[in-house]
Amino acid sequence: MKRAYRFFLLLYPLEHQDQFADEMTAVFEAARAEGCMRGWTWYMRFAFAEMNGLIAGAASTWFTQRFRHKPAPQSSGAAASPCALPQELIDAKQRVDLNVAGMIHAIATHQFAKARFHSDEERQARECLRLLQDKYEIQG
């Protein structure tokens, strides 16, 4: 299972892997070891949730990294640049990021009920973000 987890960590940008991979793996291993006595069903649900979380987290990290490096357009008092992102889209992305951060913190502190809550909230926030991206015809 640790090898599969490490493989999915490769989905993250290299700088993220360098900074967080060892810590994420250690937290994963601790949670797995703590809960593996709960039985096969729990273990399969845990593994599925972890792999989905890694995929979602990697996508979020790439998305955040993509927009973080772009400078904000300067406004000269006239109409905003067509490259500027609408505020509701920025807010939706921030809701996704906050829920991912909350989920990571909850997992790191072994608050799995809270992690599940943030996971559900993140799923809803991502759907809202997707709808806004469709509305403004923004890809990925």
pLDDT confidence band for 68 (50 / 70 / 90): low
Which pLDDT value is given to residue 82?
A: 47
List, as one string, the DSSP characters of 47-90: HHHHHHHHHHHHHHHHHHHHHHTSPPPPP-SSSPPTTSPPHHHH
- Largest distance between two CA atoms of the chain: 63
Which pLDDT value is given to residue 78?
A: 41
Structure-model confidence comparison of residues 64 and 93, the more confident one: 93
Mean pLDDT, residues 6-27 taken together: 87
- pLDDT tens per residue across span 69-127: 454 444 444 444 445 778 888 888 888 888 888 888 778 777 788 888 888 899 998 99
Cα distances (angstroms) measured from residue 138 to each of 19, 123, 135: 30, 19, 8
- pLDDT tens per residue across span 17-28: 888 888 888 888
As a residue count, the chain comes to 140
For residue 119, what are its two tokens?
A: 């996971």
pTM of the model: 0.46
Other CB atoms within 10 Å distance of the CB of residue 55: 12
Which pLDDT value is given to residue 99?
A: 83
Q: What is the distance between the alpha carbons of residues 18 and 14, in angstroms, rounded to a whole number?
A: 6
